[in-house]
Amino acid sequence: MKKEIPLAITFLTGLIIVVTFFIPHQPLGTMQQRLLIWYSIVLGFTMLLGVDSLLRSNLKRLVGRTPGWPYAAVLLAGFAFTLAAGIYNWATTRSLLTLGSPFMFVYTFVIVPLQATMFAVLAFFIASAAYRAFRARTLEATLLLVTAAIVMIGRVPVGAELWDKLPVLADWIMEVPQMAAKRGIVIGVALGTIAMSLRVILGLERTYLS
Amino acid sequence: MRFFERIAAIDRRLIYLALALSVLIPLLFKMVLPTRVSEPVRAAYRSIDDLPEGSVVMISVDYDASSAPELQPIYLGILQHCFAKKLKVLVLGQWVMGTPFGELGLGRIAPLYDAVYGVDYVNLGYRPGYRAQMVGLGREIRDFFAVDSRGITLDSLPMMAGVHNYNQIDLLVGLEAGQAGDEWIQFAGARYGVDIVIGATGVVAPDKFHYLQARQIRGLIGGLQGAAEYETLIGKPGAAIAGMVAQSWAHLLLLAFIVLGNVGYFVMRRAKP
Amino acid sequence: MTQIIGTWIAAGLTLAIFSFLYKDNPFYKVAEHLYVGVSAAYAVLYAWANDVYPMLVEPMFLGRGAVTTADRWILLVPLLFGLMMLARWVPRIAWLSRWSIALTVGIAAGLGITGQIQGILLPQVAGTLVPLTSANNVLMVAGVIATLVYFYFSIAQKGAVKVGSRLGMVFIMVAFGASFGYTVMARISLLIGRLQFLVFDWLHVVK
């Protein structure tokens, strides 16, 4: 039961979606639209997964005064404050996107700088890696490095200042050899995805149930 | 020889400092270089510029703060272009953490063109489950967005009168930091024949050229450089053009690091018995 | 005033994250934990405001977007599947979440098959079927075939296959190099974005 019903659900829903692609007429068309809406609704619930364990483990850290508990306090305070700001927004405007509202304040001045800076830090790591790790040890590695160099310089304004053909060369790399390899990869991935999707629908691939 | 040994052991923080300075100095001195416009960006520009007044452009804000410095300038440029051309703008987003960027951009640009909410533009906001939603919108937008991001029913918004599915969308602009662009191309483009223009981060853009060649998308705006090219085309210099000298300096510095690292590596390797 | 306070908070948090570059420190840890807490609340709010309320509560209880009574109450099905997804919170009934996962996996697989064939496979193959009248076209077709040969592991890599595979490797390295160049561009752009914020919006060093 614990395996058969999920397999049957996957088979039926997958089959309906494939069949309605070819026969979009009633009642299949409406049935597909309903399934798509359901998919959207159910997937929304996954946003809540993980929140419970996050809160529970940090509450435990805080109450038990385990090492690093002040950080748990910061996490929980951030959660509570944002939740309060969002609830206030919702209660007053029925929207979370109202400009100038407390929730948008949290988004603009807390979430954005934190997330954006975490990714900006990667620029420094890539610089350090460029210095220490990128070595032209083999022909393949040399090819990679030379292409990277042409694209890096050719795609920014200084490229044209150095040599006016450099941007043209960079564009050509992107549009011909680079594109050809990516197309080869994409065709392979598409074949793989189709095969895997078929296996999932037919119940041959069951790893998602483990 | 000793020189290379010494620089091989250089403190990584000095590398960080050099990079920070290479970006900061051009910004502080407001250095600008002329921007050359590439063909994929020009094609994207033309796709919007050729639309007749009143056409509906759907813009999907599919990124969050982690890539906003690249994509928000593209978004702002496209919004300015659309409002200047008196096109109707319909915004939505597929990335939950980035949905507010759609509203922030509209809040900044719409007043400059006296664009009115509900008449000239609408923000649908976010719904989960993007590939299902992309297919479902082809039948009826209201099945997923009975209300917009402000909680207003779509039927009470003048701009949405008669706009029910992709048949009434003249162009879709996907601003992509991940997979959503490929899904738009599969489900809105291939399935419903929607014309698509993609704006993408530097990481994502190389994976979109094969769509451009196969005419699955009509234009491609890649990274901050693409944004600078778009700003050039619409004649509204913004954050992207302001950042391009810093970008150039940083790239030159990185190239110098790679060359120096390699020269050091080969010199030391040859010296070893 | 709110703008000024907000900008100072944002600048403080930006510097706290950047401080990690020097070494791990309490400022960074505070910022990191704050991010996790704030993001978790954001997810909860968005699940309510963009999913549960507009797609379940409004149509079921306010009748918005639902035409018939059946339209309203059939939504109990996705509600049930949604709640079963949350069964993962309770280890004893966690297995129930498989039903919800099965629903989403089935639909995604169905969409995947048709989407990949219609949206990727056929148009990409069609895009490769070009007249070999220019050097670029010849190079492109050769590149696509060679890349496919490189990833074709079902036959022994010798003779002509080996040559094709080797050529495929050349194209792949060019593609990875190009991707690397673009990735560098992307990462530097993010740094520019943060420094523009600090220089223009916070310090107003440059007008």
User: Has residue C160 been placed in a domain?
Assistant: yes
**Amino acid in position A178:** Q
For residue B88, give the 3-state DSSP assignment.
strand
Q: Is residue A166 part of a domain?
A: no
Least confident of A114-123, B91-100, B196-205, C197-206: C197-206
Average pLDDT, chain A: 95
Same-domain check for residues A110 and A99: yes
Is some CB atom of chain B closer than 8 A to the CB atom of A40? yes
Give the tens place of pLDDT for each residue, C52-65. Answer: 999 999 999 887 77
Domain that holds residue A113: 50-133
Rounded CA-CA distance B116/B118 in Å is 6
Tell which of A102, A133, A164 closes a domain: A133
Measure the CA–CA gap between B163 and B243, rounded to whole angstroms: 38
Among A130-139, B203-212, C143-152, C190-199, name the one with the lowest average pLDDT. A130-139
B144 vs A37: CB contact, 8 Å cut-off?
yes
Total domain count for chain A?
2
pLDDT at residue C189 in the model: 97
Q: How many separate domains does chain C show?
A: 1
Partnered with residue B198 across adjacent β-strands are B174, B220
Question: Does C134 map to a domain?
Answer: yes
Within 10 Å of residue B113's Cβ, how many Cβ atoms?
16
From A67, A101, A133, give the residue that closes a domain: A133
In whole angstroms, how far apart are CA A195 and each of A16, A200, A204? 18, 9, 11
CB within 8 Å: B243 and C192: yes
Bridge partners of B89, per DSSP, are: B57, B121
Spans of chain A below 50 pLDDT: none
What is the arithmetic mean of pLDDT over B155-177? Answer: 97
**Distance between CA atoms of residues B251 and A165, nearest Å:** 18
Q: Which of B63, B135, B141, B231 to mutate to test the interface with A (most CBs of A within 10 A)?
A: B135
Q: Closest Cα partner for C49 from A100, B40, B128? A: B128
Does one domain contain both A55 and A129? yes
Strand partners, B90: B58, B122
**Residue that finishes a domain, picked among A133, A156, A180:** A133
> Cβ B243–C193 below 8 Å, yes or no?
yes
pLDDT at residue C66 greater than cutoff 70: no
The arithmetic mean of pLDDT across residues C146-175, rounded, is 91
Write out residues 139-178 of A within 8 Å (CB-CB) of B: 145, 149, 152-153, 155-161, 167, 171, 174-175, 178
Decide if A174 is inside a domain. no
Average pLDDT over residues B215-225: 97
- Residue A41 is predicted with a pLDDT of 96
Residue A100 domain flag: yes
CA dihedral A146→A147→A151→A153, nearest 10 degrees, is: 0
- Name the one residue in this structure whose structure tokens are 């150039």: B248
Torsion of Cα atoms, B256 then A157 then C203 then C2, to 10° = -130
Out of B69, B127, B213, name the one closest to residue C193 (CB).
B69
In a domain, C67, yes or no: no
Q: Averaged over C90-113, what is the pLDDT?
A: 95
Collapsing DSSP to helix, strand or coil, C23 comes out as: coil
CA torsion, ordered C24, C28, C34, C40, to nearest 10 deg: -50
* Residue B125 dihedral angles phi and psi, to the nearest 5°: 90, -140
Domain that holds residue C199: 130-207
In tens, the pLDDT along A140-149 reads: 999 999 999 9
Kindly give, in sequence order, each residue whose CB lies less than 8 Å from that of residue C133, ignoring residues fewer than 6 positions away.
none
Which tokens belong to B93? 């987003």
Lookup: tokens for A94 = 């029925």
Write down which chains contact chain A via at least 3 CB pairs under 8 A: B, C
Q: Is residue A164 part of a domain?
A: no
| Pair A32, A60 in one domain | no
Q: Per-residue pLDDT averaged across B200-210, rounded?
A: 98
In a domain, A185, yes or no: no
Looking at CA atoms only, how far is residue C142 from chain A in angstroms? 8
The answer to the question of residue A138 being in a domain is no
Contact between residue B180 and residue B61 where contact means Cβ atoms under 8 Å apart: no
Is the pLDDT confidence value at B273 over 70? no
Say if residue A198 is exposed, middle or buried (CB neighbours under 10 Å; 0-12, 13-18, 19+). Answer: middle
CA-nearest of C122, C172, A178, C144 to B214 is C122
Q: What pLDDT digit, counting tens, does each position of B51-68 carry?
A: 999 999 999 999 999 999
* Cα–Cα nearest to B146, from C191, C62, C25, A75: C62
Question: Which residue from C20, C43, C168 is facing A48, i.e. has the nearest CB?
Answer: C43
